Structure 1
Amino acid sequence: MTEETAAGTTEPQAAPQIQMRILGQFIRDMSFENVMAQKGVSGDVQPEISVQVNLDAKKRSADHQYEVSIKLNLKSKAKGLEDILFLCEIDYCGLFHVEGVPNDQLHPFLMIECPRMLFPYLRRIVSDITRDGGYPPVNLDNIDFVGLYRNELIRRQAEASDKTEA
């Protein structure tokens, strides 16, 4: 894109500078239920862990500030058995100051880049919780936030097309 100056020449227009700062991070809600310990089960078991991830973002009252949350649900069963070892739910939030992102790109930015910044801290918390619960620390694999975002868009489009067909 070019911009005409008073002299009549054209100069390239600078792209807006994107600014993002993490203003704060916190655990909104957390639960760790050590089912195996409550039942008094002992012995060596191999855990099998399933992880569900949900993302949310909302505008805060201050200009350019947003709250982004990652909600994780971990369920661990004993390998080969139906016995639940532990359940872990955590809602981890970050407060962000974001400027310079075009409006049409703000939603993907909040749902991809912001969770990407929070994830290492959340990973450490999950590792500590599971270790302190008496299990080997759970080291979460990296989460593909781009893939999650794309899958959610596809799910919403399918849901919208189902409503229009009905």
Structure 2
Amino acid sequence: MADTNGGVEAPQPPKMNVLAQFVRDMSFENILAQKGVSGEVQPDVQVQVNLDAKKRSADHQFEVLMKLKVESKSKSNLEVLFLMELDYVGVFHIENVPEDQMHPFLLIECPRMLFPFVRRIVSDVTRDGGFPPLNLETIDFLALYRAELQRRAAAEQPVAGNA
């Protein structure tokens, strides 16, 4: 068979494997139990997510860190009920992703792979900590990435105006 691409090799599809995933750090404080508060409490749960990624020394290996801070406060008096902090890491082998697309790939696609495991940990820990299991809503990592790009662009604006 003749080469119909004129000698140009077709681009390979991206390849990603999860090599490892683990809890790097975690804390859970049941402040409600420490204070001895009793009765029905209506919680207001706030979730903060931070992402970071870095290249590892091995070829095609990257480490993605998802930092989660979950704080539950009483709606009535805003007292903290519990506080959970979780650093969850995934180690990925990634090939065939163009360099200019690697940053969004690491901060969108990789966290999508990790999220179901993070959700399970949060659910188990909150249940084991004496609260109803907290089932995190799905996080839109694309929207999170775009919001961070906009935040950074806005932060750079005043600097350009002062020049």
TM-score normalised by the shorter chain: which range applies? Answer: over 0.9
CA deviations on 1:40-93 (whole Å, 9 max, x unpaired) are 111221211001110000000100000001111111011222211000000101
Residue matched to 2:81? 85
Q: Secondary structure at the match of 1:25?
A: strand
- Give 1:32's match in structure 2, choosing from 20, 28, 39: 28
Q: Counterpart amino acid of 1:163?
A: V
- For residues 14-163 of structure 1, the aligned pairs below 5 Å read 14-163=10-159
Measure how far apart 1:17 and its partner are.
Answer: 2.3
Cα distance change of structure 1 residues 65 and 45 upon mapping to structure 2, 3 Å threshold: same
Residue matched to 1:3? none
Measure how far apart 1:11 and its partner are.
Answer: 6.6
Q: Secondary structure at the match of 1:10?
A: coil
Q: Secondary structure at the match of 1:101?
A: coil
Is 43-52 or 105-114 further displaced after alignment?
43-52
- C-alpha separation in 1, matches of 2:28 and 2:5: 65
Measure how far apart 1:151 and its partner are.
Answer: 0.5
TM-score of the aligned structures, taking structure 2 as reference length: 0.93
Q: Which runs of 5+ in 1 are unaligned?
A: 1-5
Residue identity over aligned pairs, in percent, reads 61
RMSD after superposition: 1.8
- C-alpha separation in 1, matches of 2:26 and 2:62: 21
The aligned length equals 161
Measure how far apart 1:10 and its partner are.
Answer: 3.1
